[in-house]
Amino acid sequence: MEDRPTRRQFCARTCSAAVLAALGGTLAGTLQGCGGGSGSPTSPDGGGGAASLPAVNGSVNGRAVAVTVDAASPLAAAGSSALVRSSLGDFLVARTSTDAFAAFTATCTHDRCTITGVSGQVFVCPCHGSRFDQAGRVVNGPAQSALRSYPTQFAGSVLTITA
């Protein structure tokens, strides 16, 4: 007997197919299994065409994650953001100014999906379209709780996130 995919797997696969179809100029129809059709606030793109966050790897030392931020980094400019992956977990990082960063858990507070999208300066969950601002607050749901934040320190060209 063939294994059936979970609802989350079904939604992810269906939504990926729809995004590919939309990029090709073809509307793939509605995605009822993911909470609505394209453009709905609860669709996986949250109705705003989220792009994938650039991902960077962080090195772990104790409870700290270090990320080099140089000219080639996706975090090089103020207003930029990235998904930082480490053995301590995944973090959403936003560069809020020349010297300041904000870091949050990349786990959506709605259904524990990893947030991998961005639309402007808003983080977008690919599972049900929850959106969070660069302060980790819910912009629109279905999530109702803000993302957990983590202290950051920036010295030289190294960003340190204390988990």
- Does a structural domain hold residue 12? no
- Does a structural domain hold residue 13? no
- Does a structural domain hold residue 15? no
- Does a structural domain hold residue 55? yes
Considering all CA atoms of the chain, what is the largest pairwise distance in Å, rounded to the nearest integer? 57
- CB burial readout 30-53, b (16+ within 10 A) else e: ebeebbbbbebbbbbbbbbebeeb
- Does a structural domain hold residue 26? no
d(CA 109, CA 4): 26
Domain holding 143, by residue range, is 41-162
* pLDDT for residue 32: 29
Q: What percent of the chain has pLDDT over 70?
A: 70
Of the listed ranges 32-46, 47-61, 75-89, the one predicted with least confidence:
32-46
- Does a structural domain hold residue 158? yes
- Supply the pTM of this predicted model: 0.68
Tokens at 82, concatenated: 């990235």
Residue 116 has pLDDT above 60, yes or no: yes
Q: Are 15 and 126 in contact (CB under 8 A)?
A: yes
Domain count for the chain: 1
- Does a structural domain hold residue 36? no
What is the bridge-based pairing of β-strands 138-140 and 131-132? Answer: antiparallel
* pLDDT for residue 135: 87
Indicate which CATH number applies to the domain containing 92: 2.102.10.10
